[in-house]
Amino acid sequence: MKFEQNLEEYLTYLLVERGLSSNTLASYRRDLTDFLAYLEKLDYTSLEQIDKYCLHDYMQKLKNAALAPSSRARKSAALKSFFKYLYLEKILPHNLAPEVETPKKEKSLPKYLTMEEVDRLLAAPKTNTIIGCRDKAMLELLYATGMRVSELISLQVSQVNTQMSYVRCIGKGNKERLIPMGQPAAQAIEYYRENCRRKINNYWQSEYLFLNLQGKMLTRQGFWKNLKKYGKSVGINSPLTPHVLRHSFATHLLQNGADLRAIQEMLGHVDISTTQIYTHLLDEHKFEQYNQSHPRA
């Protein structure tokens, strides 16, 4: 199909020219495949047939399907980027990107753990086993740096300097950033690297720091499953994901006086407005402390 050819060329452009990750590319592929399937149901045979009414009807269809605003916003962003590409490559004579509606996202504050909950979680893995030793190091590092789980599992041995206590992280768009880490994380990684990783089959054949028992890179799903298991074991009943630890990292830094720009750099946010959502959490914390402490609250 002509549509499929356009899609593959666009995904190649995102990979080669913009250096997007495989996870992001997979998301773009899903969202745009859904749209192109919609066009085929309308018996469209050419991209030139698309107009603003078609785009409006498609976005309305997503809304009627009770798709979450965040999901519709993601699909909208994918379409805008796709149409901009088609226009710049002269595949379409007009840029249809401005015609794609951008749904308003629901403002929801990120979930985070209390410091006491973090302490319980970090103490959950049993370090007398290879898996427990590895998971202890991963949890300590995730909370110490605020890394994304995709960045954590793809971390290579050479990117971690436990002597100088920093991590060289490769984030979205293949952008590199240096993140400091505390001694507990550095010590947990050093212990894992020297006493546990060496016991994994064929460990020397992998450049990745965190391995499963087969000597392969750990998957996001595998780590997420372990994280939920540890949370449940220490009585954390709220939904627990790797991103909750990332939010906890940023929130606790801000609560203890860290500079917002520094947090932005450590998280790898391009725009400071993305980081500013944590100031709302801080405001909530202040009101909560006031209501608990002031005699006439």
193 is catalytic: no
Count CA within 13 A, CB hemisphere, residue 118.
22
246 is catalytic: yes
13 is catalytic: no
Among 171, 182, 181, 174, smallest CA distance to 269 is for: 171
Q: Which residues of 119-153 are buried (b: 16+ CB within 10 A; e: fewer)?
A: ebbbebbebeebebbbbbbbbbbbbbbbbbbbbbb
120 is catalytic: no
Q: What is the identity of the amino acid at 81?
A: S
Question: Which of 29, 84, 94, 172 is flagged as catalytic?
Answer: 172
Question: Which of 148, 193, 197, 252 is flagged as catalytic?
Answer: 148
Question: Which of 84, 94, 120, 243 is flagged as catalytic?
Answer: 243
Question: Which of 84, 94, 111, 269 is flagged as catalytic?
Answer: 269
166 is catalytic: no
What single DSSP character describes residue 177?
A: E
30 is catalytic: no
Do residues 220 and 228 touch, judged by C-beta distance below 8 A? no
Strand partners, 176: 170
Question: Which of 72, 246, 247, 252 is flagged as catalytic?
Answer: 246
Q: Cα dist. 125→16, 119, 255 in Å?
A: 40, 12, 27
Q: Cα dist. 99→14, 52, 54, 59, 67 in Å?
A: 22, 6, 10, 11, 20
Q: In sequence order, what are the residues at sequence separation of 6 or more whose Cβ sits closer than 8 angstroms to the Cβ of residue 26? A: none
Among 113, 107, 145, smallest CA distance to 255 is for: 113
Question: Which of 10, 85, 230, 278 is flagged as catalytic?
Answer: 278
What single DSSP character describes residue 94?
A: S
The catalytic residues are 148, 172, 243, 246, 269, 278
